[in-house]
Structure 1
Amino acid sequence: MVVQIATNWKLLQFADMPCNNLAQRLKKARMLTGMSQVELANKIGISRSVLNEVEAGYRDKILRPTLLKLLTVLDKDILCDDYYLFVLEQEKKLKPLVEKYGLRKLARMIGVDPSSLDHWKRGDYQISRKCFEILWKLE
C-alpha cells in the first residue's frame, strides 16, 4: 500500500512535465524512477555524458540497443513515442508492408535503396524517423 501511494505521488508530481520530444520523455521517465543521470547510466551501462546529451536535447535519436537498455529500467509508455515503438518491432512491422508492396516498390515509395529497406527488415539497422513517418501513413 505504501509503495502504491509513493508511485501515485510520483506520477502526480511529474504529471504536468511535457513529453513532446525524446529529451523530455527520457527526463520524465528517469525522474519517475528517482534515479540521477549517473545512477541510470551506471545501471544500464552507458556513459552519463550520452544520457545528459539526450536529456539536454543535443541528441535527438537513440539507437535500438540503447533503447532496450533504457527500457529495462524506465517506463516504456513514457519513453517511447510511435517511432520508438516501431523501432522495437521494426522487423515484424516491415514484413507485411514488404509483402504488400514488394521490396523495390516500397523502397521507391519511401525514397531509399532497396538494400536499406532489406537491412531494416532484417533488423541490421534502425529505420530513420523520416522514413518511418512515410511508412506510418501506409500502415
Structure 2
Amino acid sequence: MVFQIATNWKFLQYADMPCNNLAQRLKKARMLTGMSQVELAKKVGISRSVLNEVEAGYRNKILRPTLLKLLTVLDKDILCDDYYCFVLEQEQKLKPLVEKYGLRNLARMIGVDVSSLEHWKRGDYQISRRYYDKIVELKLL
C-alpha cells in the first residue's frame, strides 16, 4: 500500500511535465522512476553523457538499440511518440507498404533511394523522422 501511495504521488508530482519533445519525454520518464541520470545510465548500460545530452536537447534523436535499452526501465507510453513506436516495429510496419505499393514505387513516393528503403525494411538502419513524417503525410499507414 505504501509503495502504491508513493507511486501515485510521484506520478501526480510529474504529471504536468510537458512531453512535447524527446528531451522532455525522457526526463519525465526517468523522473517517474526516481532515478538520477547516473543511476539510469548504469542500469541500462549507456553513458550518462548521452542521457544528459538528450535531456538537455542537444541530441534530438536516439537510435533503436539505445531506445530498447531505455525501455527496459522506462515507460514506453511516456518515452515514445508515434515516430519511436514506428521505429520499434519498422520492419513489420514497412513490409505491408512495400507489398502494397512495390519497393521502387514506395521509395519514389517518399523520396528516398530504393537501397535505403531496403535497409529500413530489413532493420539494418533506422528510418529518419523526416521520411517517417512523409509516410504519415501521404497517409500510407
Same fold? TM cut 0.5: yes
Matched, 1:37 2:37: yes
Identity of aligned residues (%): 86
What value does the CA root-mean-square deviation take over the aligned residues? Answer: 0.6
Runs of 4+ residues over 3 Å off in structure 1:
none
Matched, 1:55 2:27: no
Q: What's the TM-score, normalizing by structure 2?
A: 0.97
Structure 2 distance, partners of 1:8, 1:97, is: 41
Provide the residue aligned with 2:93 in structure 1.
93
Provide the residue aligned with 1:75 in structure 2.
75
Structure 1 residues 81-120: aligned runs within 5 Å: 81-120=81-120
Structure 1 distance, partners of 2:14, 2:59, is: 23
Aligned partner letter, 2:92: K
Provide the residue aligned with 1:138 in structure 2.
140
CA deviations over 1:5-53 (Å, ceiling 9, x no partner): 1111111000110000000000000000000000001111111111100
Cα deviation for residue 134 of structure 1 reads: 1.3
Q: Which runs of 5+ in 1 are unaligned?
A: none
Matched positions, count? 139
Aligned partner letter, 2:98: V
Q: What's the TM-score, normalizing by structure 1?
A: 0.98
Provide the residue aligned with 1:9 in structure 2.
9
Q: Which runs of 5+ in 2 are unaligned?
A: none
